[in-house]
Amino acid sequence: MMKNVVEVRDLVVVRGAYEVLPGISLDVPPGVTGLLGPSGCGKTTLMRCLVGAQQVRSGTVEVLGEPAGSRPLRTRVGYVTQAASVYDDLTVAENLAFFARVLGVDRAAVEEAVDAVGLGGHRDQVVGRLSGGQRSRASLAVALLGTPDLLVLDEPTVGLDPVLRRDLWGLFHRIADAGAAVLVSSHVMDEAERCHRLLLMREGRIIADGSPDEVRARTGAADVEQAFLTLVEGAA
């Protein structure tokens, strides 16, 4: 059994004259891993590297034993960007049917994905008429097509109400309990407690890696937010 779903070694990403990721290394095992840090710290760039959508200067990124973005990973990796990645002029069901054809998965996968994100009652609604939270769930449903082994979620709970946030985190844990790796980015530190493991990021670097309990114990902090602040101050 593969220990790590993702293995990143000495990854360097440069944008213009700025080194966004200055040679970082990390692993992502099965379970729910939270990638936490302030806006602009490099979370989205790192996630784009994992799905093969980012040009890199050097280093290696392997996902499920394959180079990130390679063809064998097409149906094994699900990716949800911050912006909804569905067509506003199609219904929820039409969107999923389209992406299912692209991915080569059967019709049953469409119904499973719609039900998984709680959009069964909206399957025939045009996406452009849905609320922001519902549109985000439609994008998540697309990512679930084919039952991916790695689900990469870029700030999926931003702007959502507490009940919907709770429900989505419940879904992430059910997906992980089925054996997948779920990598969730956020700049909201209280979401850290919902994760099995944390990667705390600051200015393109991983400054802490471990369970919430381990991160708190390392700094003697009462919560992850205080731990993060302690680590930042210690590195200053």
Q: Answer yes or no: is 24 within a domain.
A: yes
**98 lies in the same domain as 193:** no
For residue 1, the model assigns a pLDDT of: 43
57 and 101 fall within a common domain: no
In a domain, 157, yes or no: no
175 and 227 housed in the same domain: yes
Q: Are 72 and 89 part of one and the same domain?
A: no
Please count the structural domains in the chain: 2
CA distance 69 to 61: 9
Confidence (pLDDT) at 2: 53
Residue showing tokens 């067509």? 87
The pLDDT value recorded for residue 165 is 84
Specify if 158 maps to a domain.
no
Tokens, residue 163: 């009940």
Rounded to 5 degrees, what are φ and ψ at 176?
A: -65, -40
State the residue range of the domain holding 216: 1-76+163-235
Nearest partner of 172 among 158, 162, 164, 182, judged by Cα:
182
CA-based radius of gyration for the chain: 18
Residue 188 lies in a domain: yes
User: Do 111 and 139 share a structural domain?
Assistant: yes
5 occurs within a structural domain: yes
**How buried is 228 (Cβ within 10 angstroms: 0-12 exposed, 13-18 middle, 19+ buried)?**
buried
In a domain, 155, yes or no: no
pLDDT in tens, the chain (236 residues): 458 999 999 999 999 989 999 999 999 999 999 999 988 999 999 999 999 999 999 999 999 999 999 999 988 999 999 888 899 999 999 999 999 998 888 888 899 899 888 899 999 999 999 988 888 889 999 999 988 999 999 998 887 788 888 888 999 999 999 999 999 999 888 889 999 999 999 999 999 999 999 999 998 999 998 998 898 877 54
pLDDT of 170: 92
**Position 1, amino acid:** M
Residue 69 falls inside a structural domain: yes
pTM, 2 dp? 0.91
